[in-house]
Amino acid sequence: MTTNHHAAAATDAASAPVGIFDSGLGGLSVLRAVRAQLPNEALLYAADSAHAPYGPRDNAFIIERTLTVGEWLVSEGVKVLVVACNTATAGSIAVLRDQLPIPVIGVEPGIKPAALQSKTRVAGVLATQATLGSERFRQLLARHAADCQFICQPGHGLVDAIERCDIDSPEVIALLTRYIEPMLEAGADTLVLGCTHYPFLDAAIRRIAGDRLALVDTSVAIARQLERVLDTNGLHAPTFATPAALRLCSTNEGTHLRQLVSALLGLELPVERIVAKPCSPAPPRPPEAA
């Protein structure tokens, strides 16, 4: 290959989109931060909404789904994959890094920043059952909790509600109240939003807790991490790519994805259907705990 060909191939790779993946709509909180931090980057958002929530599922299911969508994103030409889902990261990041030929960035609950900032030394963590039960989460606490006590609460029912674009119904407020009040009673001054769906509950949490809880959301840190990975791999999009393209894709019909993107980003975009190899055999979904 000549020097010119090398340069052209490098520009092509850098012009490719960044893939952002979530079990559903939660990764849009990360996409919002990425767009603010890296406005030149074309983005391809993939929601596995037909299979959300992942939280009550077992690891085999989560690995199968994230690999299926991850491979599909690679086949669509993404240059880097952001797994914008704490649950998928906890269950499958090692497999994804092993199997996919591109850099893979994961997300994890902000235990470290919470332990650094809590004054009362009591903090709450709201995350999915799968995230809280994972070995990665256990290690995260062991590494960073220090002398801070973490009250870990699975957010049963919250992802389902957000997938329906319900962020403030009486049912959602009642669930959140049930999860958050014991944290407040125990003296928590900080709440880790350990699921990328939960930043959309920010206003509802404020209604319950006022300013008694500082909310820890890691989406800005993930955008910065993506910037570092693009730097290290020489994959920053050329600046002439502005305004960068945004493609939305989903495993379901995408009505709520379209709605949330419109509300969040003010963009009216179509949603493409993801046609990937079906998840087989799909294990039955266990009943959700109360």
Q: Specify which residues 122 forms β-bridges with.
A: 149
Catalytic residue among 85, 148, 152, 249: 85
> What one-character-per-residue DSSP string does 48-110 give?
-GGG---TTS-HHHHHHHHHHHHHHHHHTT-SEEEE--HHHHHHHHHHHHHH-SS-EE-----
Q: Is 92 in the site for ligand DGL (CB under 6 A)?
A: no
Least spacing, CB of residue 78 vs ligand DGL, in Å: 19
Q: Is 157 in the site for ligand DGL (CB under 6 A)?
A: no
Q: Is the dihedral of CA 217, 221, 223, 229 positive or negative?
A: negative
Q: Specify which residues 85 forms β-bridges with.
A: none
- Give the nearer residue to ligand DGL in terms of CB position, either 202 or 231: 202
Q: Is 159 in the site for ligand DGL (CB under 6 A)?
A: yes
Q: Report the distance separating Cα 144 and Cα 231, nearest Å.
A: 27
- What are the tokens at 237? 């999009």
Least spacing, CB of residue 57 vs ligand DGL, in Å: 8
- Give the nearer residue to ligand DGL in terms of CB position, either 41 or 163: 163
Angle of CA points 81, 267, 80, to nearest 5°: 10
Q: Let me know how long the chain is.
A: 290
Least spacing, CB of residue 235 vs ligand DGL, in Å: 24
Least spacing, CB of residue 24 vs ligand DGL, in Å: 6
Q: Report the distance separating Cα 240 and Cα 37, nearest Å.
A: 16
Least spacing, CB of residue 1 vs ligand DGL, in Å: 41
Q: Specify which residues 7 forms β-bridges with.
A: none
152 classed as catalytic: no
Least spacing, CB of residue 31 vs ligand DGL, in Å: 12
**Residue labelled with tokens 């179509």:** 270
85 classed as catalytic: yes
Which element (helix H / strand E) includes 246?
strand 246-250
- What are the tokens at 185? 């009673």
Within 13 Å of residue 109, how many CA atoms lie on the same side as its CB? 38
Per-residue x/- mask for ligand DGL, residues 36 to 55, rule CB under 6 A? Answer: ----------------xxxx
Per-residue x/- mask for ligand DGL, residues 196 to 235, rule CB under 6 A? Answer: xx--------------------------------------
Give residues with Cβ within 8 angstroms of 264, minimum separation 6: 28, 32
- Give the nearer residue to ligand DGL in terms of CB position, either 17 or 56: 56
> Of the candidates 49, 66, 86, 190, which one interacts with ligand DGL according to CB under 6 A?
86
Q: Is 91 in the site for ligand DGL (CB under 6 A)?
A: no
Candidate segments 8-16, 84-92, 132-140, 237-245, binder of ligand DGL by CB under 6 A: 84-92
Q: Is the dihedral of CA 242, 71, 55, 59 positive or negative?
A: negative
Residues that bind ligand DGL (CB under 6 A): 22-24, 26, 52-55, 85-87, 128, 131, 159, 195-197
User: What residues are labeled active site?
Assistant: 85, 195
